[in-house]
Amino acid sequence: LEKNGLAGAVTDIMIKEVGASWVSLCWKKPSVSRGSPVITYKVETWLCGEGAFWVELGRTPIPQFDAFNLKANKCYHFRVTARNKRGWGDAIMTTHKVDLSKPTQMPVITSDLESIIKALKDSPVRLSVQVSGEPAPKVTWQKDSIDATLIPGVTVIEDDMGSHVEITTINTETTGKYTVTAANLAGRTTKSVLVQSVENIEVYDAYKKFKKWQGLVQSPLAPYMINGPRDRRIQVGQSIQLTCRVVSNPWPVVKWFKEDEPIIPDDYTNIYNETDFQHVQVDDVTIDHCGKYCVEAFNEHGSIRSHFTVIVDNGLDRYMPPFFTKELKDTVITQGCNLLLHCRVESYPYIGVTWHQSGSKIRLKESDFKLIDDDGNVVLVLFEIQRSQSFNCTIMNEIAENSTACQVVVNTPDQPLVQIDEDVIRHSMGPRFVSWPKNQEVVEGCTVTIECSVENCSTLIMSRDFLPKSIDGSILKFSKVSGNTWSATMSDISTES
């Protein structure tokens, strides 16, 4: 979408379920990359055979709608139109009539399918799923967007137990991403699995043991958190379950805290575990349950903590889709320097933030850093970038999803930091870094000197905590040495500084 453009068109209108006089609809949100996010959706219906006109059924802020009081044994068409603050977008209608005399149900893949399956090279593999829906869904398999039945060595079979893909031999032609699609008149659903080949038998045996955590905890082991609790949002009066997964040997003692105070079981709070899964169930949630939480697991070999936040509000009254007040900008840096990406968002309720690097989800190393503060600032810092890549920041809440992207160009040290016209540089009034401070490894107690080169600069400061200047107690001021060179000295360095 262009910036400040109208809302895009929704896609894949699906009939979740059909009753005698009602229909449950859902659809995919328009893609929102720039401009104003979707505020509401308008749902209309056309009664086939009784007039050629559309009748508005209602509006909804979420991509689903239940239509009631329809005429039994009749056929209907439905269409959905998205709106943002710029106006209504294009309307999209159902591709076929919805017959109320024939109850339907969206297809559902009821069996679990692992996201990644590793198999020994030249060995056979069988992928199986079970599907439900009314009418009976048609099941198809694809490998990397190609019909799986066209691939040598791959056979698709359907029987009373479900749909199966039999791979006779794992090799370069049969490994890849397999996608199963179940579709009927009500809609469709998909699941994917990545099949990978392992050549070393010892690595394959280790992988099979890795899938069974009992094989990892036969020797003494400090607690290791496989899945930590995630940030949650809940409405007043509802129930919430907080869950984590911890393994160790011997089994750990697990404690839950809210604002550093232990959570104590009562009539509304239940703490329990299922094998290596740890749970806290809270019923009849109130505003007082909002705050910062953490879970701690410890045994004689060590301890581990995971922190998360629980947001409690009064529901849909104040919901606002996420949007960017400051988007990511294309950047040019020198190879080996640190990369700092910053954008700012506004949203209600709480958002989830995901960073991607050239299409792959970013998993932070110990030297990397990311931050989301109460003012909506979203910051990502990556250590010693080596090559040019594209970066994408995606934000999401219950209302909508939005994203912003930028291109990071990495120059070798002998190239200029910016690639723009020399006349623009010569007449520019804004500060411009010619060279960045270098990463240093130092010994505690030493004195550290930090140097960089900046043009058109009168004041230079450095912060560790990304706080506003007025309240940041860790600001370090640079002094101008000569020309465009600035320097700052930190004495008696410690791990805290």
**Model confidence over 129-183: pLDDT tens digits?**
999 888 888 999 998 878 888 888 899 999 888 899 999 999 888 888 899 999 8
Q: pLDDT for 321-369, tens place per residue? A: 888 889 998 888 888 888 889 999 988 766 788 899 887 888 888 788 8
> What number of other Cβ atoms are within 10 A of residue 65's Cβ?
20
Residue pair 338/382 in contact (Cβ under 8 Å)? The answer is yes
Q: How confident is the model at residue 45 (pLDDT cuts 50, 70, 90)?
A: very high
Judged against a pLDDT cut of 80, whether residue 218 lies above it is answered with no
Q: What order do you get walking across the sheet with 291-299 strand by strand? A: 232-235, 302-313, 291-299, 253-258, 261-262
Judged against a pLDDT cut of 50, whether residue 33 lies above it is answered with no
* C-alpha closest to that of 334 among 382, 387, 381, 379: 387
Q: What is the mean pLDDT of residues 391-415?
A: 85
Judged against a pLDDT cut of 60, whether residue 6 lies above it is answered with yes
Q: pLDDT for 474-491, tens place per residue? A: 788 898 888 889 999 888
List C-alpha distances in Å: 362 to 56, 327, 355: 44, 19, 6
State how far the Cα of 347 lies from the Cα of 435, in Å rounded to an integer.
36
State how far the Cα of 107 lies from the Cα of 12, in Å rounded to an integer.
14
DSSP structural state of residue 287: G
Q: How confident is the model at residue 455 (pLDDT cuts 50, 70, 90)?
A: confident
Q: What is the mean pLDDT of residues 410-426?
A: 61
Q: Average pLDDT, whole number, for the chain?
A: 83
The whole-number pLDDT of residue 216 equals 57
How much of the chain exceeds pLDDT 90, in percent? 18
Judged against a pLDDT cut of 50, whether residue 1 lies above it is answered with no
The whole-number pLDDT of residue 432 equals 76
Q: pLDDT for 272-294, tens place per residue? A: 888 778 999 998 888 889 989 99
Which secondary-structure segment (H or E) carries 404?
strand 401-411
How much of the chain exceeds pLDDT 70, in percent? 90
- SS3 of 205, please? helix
List C-alpha distances in Å: 495 to 276, 364, 438, 445: 35, 20, 18, 9
